[in-house]
A and B are shown apart, each in its own frame.
Chain A
């Protein structure tokens, strides 16, 4: 079974803090993704990576950065957290582009 894990299920941070969200997959997948999910807005892609040290912007990259130093790990960084970044953050991975994606349990981030 594919396993995608995220470092925290719930996180509360203050405005202006730097926030790290970690994601690890154990299936040697090439592609990894970070989405956020908000009521009424569905899933929105923040960044994705198709190889180690490679990354591409998704639809809403502003205010975020990513790091992929190892194939199994993809980190999302909020450089200076703001209240409008309060959301559910979902990490996913897939074998190849367009293949089915396997999701982690999500991190519900609250920025106060």
Chain B
């Protein structure tokens, strides 16, 4: 799985959009971008994933650049409950690899 780089921490005001960047310059053509988050003392939570088109679900939007070397997770209206560590992972979907490898992630702190 390709390596990802994320900022260590970010702040966001409550009610504003939170934009979390991720660099994955060595991504391969068959690798997807996945996002998970982990609220303190809880299990990780799957958010969204995509290959090359932008994706949106009830939790977030995922914007992937045309060259696929970076992506941005957008939480459109951040709330205090969105304070968590956000992990960007690049991996082959439906491939042989099963385990998830989390990097250090981005600690998003939503401020009131």
Instruction: Identify the stretch in A13-21, A64-72, A73-81, A102-110 within 8 Å (CB) of chain B at 4 or more residues.
Output: A102-110
Contact with A along B32-56 (1 / 0, CB 8 A): 0010000001111110010000000
Q: A-side binding surface: helix, strand, loop or mixed?
A: strand
Which residue from chain A places its CB closest to the CB of B93 in the assembled complex?
A98
Interface size for B (C-beta < 8 A) is 22
Complex Cα distance A22/B98, Å? 20
Number of inter-chain CB pairs below 8 Å? 62
Contacts from B to A (Cβ < 8 Å): 34, 41-46, 49, 91-104
6 pairs of A and B residues whose beta carbons are closest in the complex: A103-B43, A45-B99, A98-B95, A100-B46, A98-B94, A106-B43
Q: A45-B99, A96-B94, A106-B42 are in contact. List 4 more A-B contacts (CB 8 A).
A: A101-B100, A103-B45, A105-B42, A108-B41
Contact sample, A vs B, 16 pairs, CB 8 Å cutoff = A33-B98, A35-B99, A35-B100, A42-B101, A42-B103, A43-B44, A43-B100, A45-B99, A90-B43, A91-B43, A97-B97, A98-B94, A98-B95, A100-B49, A103-B44, A105-B42
